[in-house]
Amino acid sequence: MSDCDSEDDATDKQLKIVILGDSATGKTNIATRYAQDQFCRTHKPTVGVDFYLKRILVKGQINVVLHIWDLGGQSLGGNMLQNYIYGAQGILLVYDITDSLSFDNLYDWLSVVNSHGIQSGKTPPHLALIGNKADQLHLRTVSEERHNKFANEHDMSSHFLSAKTGESVLVCFQQVAAEMMGLKLTTADHELQQRVVTAQIENAESEIQASSSNTWNTSPRSPICLLQ
């Protein structure tokens, strides 16, 4: 066991977040941007489920370990879906703001959550509506009004983010974690979490090398100690 796997992990609050939505909406990249600060240009459909851990401080003082479950989009009709979402305290419903079908399909995802994500006697999971690919506003096909209406109608928190640039990713998870614990973040809490988004000079060659060397699959899935 490394020094990082402290015994505190056992006493920290553990929260399960499940990321749902159509294939190619960016679920895996949202998880990897958040947990590993990585982004991959090519789409490798997730088979089954991938799993990430991230240890965070909520409101600057509460230690929380987030268990992030990234489900393959093809799981919508699958038998395993209900097992995956069982016990989740938070569910992110992700669509791509440039793909209105991925937004329309949220109704199906939501009905799965309503059928299987709610346990009797337990607080229902916090639901968050995520419009991803906010870096592509010029290609947007789902209006902000539709997004807001859906979020209001289904009592969801509302987020626009970009896994590509990292815009609003940290804030989103912080806010969702706080909501899952019944807390609200103040403006000061938000400011603490703002991530500086820097423009990068893209180097296609090194990206291709990175993806062909398969760091994507071999990177550690639960690098808690790397994440703070």
Ligand X SMILES: Nc1nc2c(ncn2[C@@H]2O[C@H](COP(=O)(O)OP(=O)(O)O)[C@@H](O)[C@H]2O)c(=O)[nH]1
Q: Is 36 in the site for ligand X (CB under 6 A)?
A: no
Size of the site for ligand X (CB under 6 A): 21
Binding characters for ligand X, 90-109, by CB under 6 A (x = yes): --------------------
Which of ligand X, Mg ion, none lies near 177, with the C-beta cut-off 5 to 8 A by kind?
none
Cβ contacts of 42 within 8 Å, gap of 6 or more: 211
With respect to Mg ion, which residue has the nearer C-beta, 44 or 149? 44
With respect to ligand X, which residue has the nearer C-beta, 168 or 174? 168
Helix ranges, the chain (H): 8-11, 27-36, 81-85, 100-104, 106-116, 144-153, 169-180, 187-193, 204-212, 215-218
Q: Is 132 in the site for ligand X (CB under 6 A)?
A: yes
Which of Mg ion, ligand X, none lies near 149, with the C-beta cut-off 5 to 8 A by kind?
none
Footprint of ligand X (CB under 6 A): 23-29, 40-43, 45-46, 73, 132-133, 135-136, 162-164
